[in-house]
Amino acid sequence: MAVFCIVFSLIVGIGAIALGFTITGGAGGTMQPAAIPSPTDGDDPKVRLDYLTAVAQVELDDHSDALLAGDEQGWLDVFAPSLHPDMQKQFTSLRNLEVSKYEYMIQGTVSQLSDTQFAFRLGVSYCFGGVIGEECSDAAIVFDTVWNDDRDGFYISEVEDSDETGPRPWEVEEIEAVSGDKVIVAAPSHYAHQLDDALASAENAAVNADQYAVYGEVEKYLVYLAGNAEFSRWYGLEGANMDNVVGFAMPVPYLDEQGRLASGAYEVVMHIDRVIDTDDFNSTMRHELGHVATLNHSPTNTSQPEDWWMVEGIAEVIDHDPSVDLDTYLRQRDVQAYIDEDLWDGDLEPVYNTDDGLTGSAKYGLAMYAVYYLFNEYGKDQFMDLFERVARNGDNPDEATQAVYGVPYDDLVDECATFIKSITD
Ligand SMILES: [Zn+2]
């Protein structure tokens, strides 16, 4: 059976965003409205905009404090009544996800749409499962809002879904969640009956993956259960070809101190209707959490073709265990069939959209064999060093291979291929 799983083309999207994204505004939460004179008729329009920006920040701070305190009415106060049903759902979802940080940064400058309407772009840095008030590894959303300034006050009348790797599941679904020491597993309510089983699998997978989190601890893994509808709706994946995907690890950005988006944590989505068999489910979970452990908070860089076999190979090795014999490896038969049919050219190539099931699965398997070989021949530390240079930092593959293994990149791939041929003869 062809088992596919993917990590979305790494940091490429986020890298592009980070380059083009700067903050021009900067009215922060430290300004109290009382510190600014209220605008009067005849003032420069900028006076009113500065005033409203300061008021908005104060209202948003109160609104997020209410969320963390479990005060639903306080959370809703900033929204027009027409938004309350959707925002009640969002409140419930965020509380279920154990939200422990929810901090607004107004992005750029406000623009005036009419005498009573103003557009603000908002960023939110959030954490789930942490301790309120303590440092945590946050993720961020950015989204557009429209605010009204009229006799009912100054309040949000329109909210768009977030647009950088968005919407996140909790923006558009009512999410239920369960948590253990290492993982929060979450799902829309129609999959909630599967949360407990999935948590047991995820906790085991997290303990396993933590052994490979050599670049920094993953504080909390976040795993969503989903079906077809969610696969094409969440994280901006509408229109993406996800037909063969059983799970993925999605990089989500965070906002750095200057308010710029940078590459950050990973969130995992498991296709609950495509991985029904328990062994497949556990295996996919170990693979995806393996991505999180190895890729979490990689520096922003551009992905390159040589990343692919390292990224998928290590996730497969983390799933299988480098000390366990290859005879029991799930894709062993796919690799053998691919080689027996003379389809392999000896290279370690990425999966393409046009690949059929056998080719796709075999490419994962070949990547796994290569990493498995390097682990067992030269040790884990060396491979993790190569991975850090090439897959995480975007270094030149040839220079990195020379530095770590003392041979050119092509020679290292040939050596892996010789091993693969020797075990598939
Ligand atoms: Zn993968």
**Which pLDDT score, from 0 to 100, does residue 35 have?**
55
For ligand 1, the distance from its centroid to the CA atom of residue 149, given in whole angstroms, is: 48
For ligand 1, the distance from its centroid to the CA atom of residue 396, given in whole angstroms, is: 22
C-alpha dihedral over 201, 202, 205, 207, to 10 degrees?
-110
Average pLDDT on 170-176 reads 97
pTM over the 0.85 mark:
yes
Instruction: Give all domains of the chain, ordered by start, each with its CATH number.
Output: 6-15+174-424 (1.10.390.10), 20-159 (3.10.450.50)
For ligand 1, the distance from its centroid to the CA atom of residue 286, given in whole angstroms, is: 10
For ligand 1, the distance from its centroid to the CA atom of residue 88, given in whole angstroms, is: 35
User: In the sheet where 99-112 sits, what is the strand order?
Assistant: 99-112, 117-128, 139-150, 153-159
Average pLDDT on 179-183 reads 98
State pLDDT tens for residues 334-364: 999 999 999 999 999 998 888 888 898 999 9
Residue closest to 331 by CA, chosen among 2, 44, 65, 107: 2
For ligand 1, the distance from its centroid to the CA atom of residue 289, given in whole angstroms, is: 9
243 exposure class (CB count in 10 Å sphere: 0-12, 13-18, 19+): exposed
For ligand 1, the distance from its centroid to the CA atom of residue 53, given in whole angstroms, is: 43
State pLDDT tens for residues 121-170: 999 999 999 999 999 999 999 999 999 999 999 999 999 999 999 999 99
| Confidence class for position 239, pLDDT limits 50, 70, 90 | confident
For ligand 1, the distance from its centroid to the CA atom of residue 389, given in whole angstroms, is: 19
State pLDDT tens for residues 62-82: 999 999 999 999 999 999 999
State pLDDT tens for residues 297-330: 999 888 899 999 999 999 999 999 999 999 999 8
Helix, strand or coil, per DSSP, at residue 183: strand
| Confidence class for position 28, pLDDT limits 50, 70, 90 | very low
For ligand 1, the distance from its centroid to the CA atom of residue 109, given in whole angstroms, is: 39
How far apart are alpha carbons 65 and 189 in whole angstroms? 26
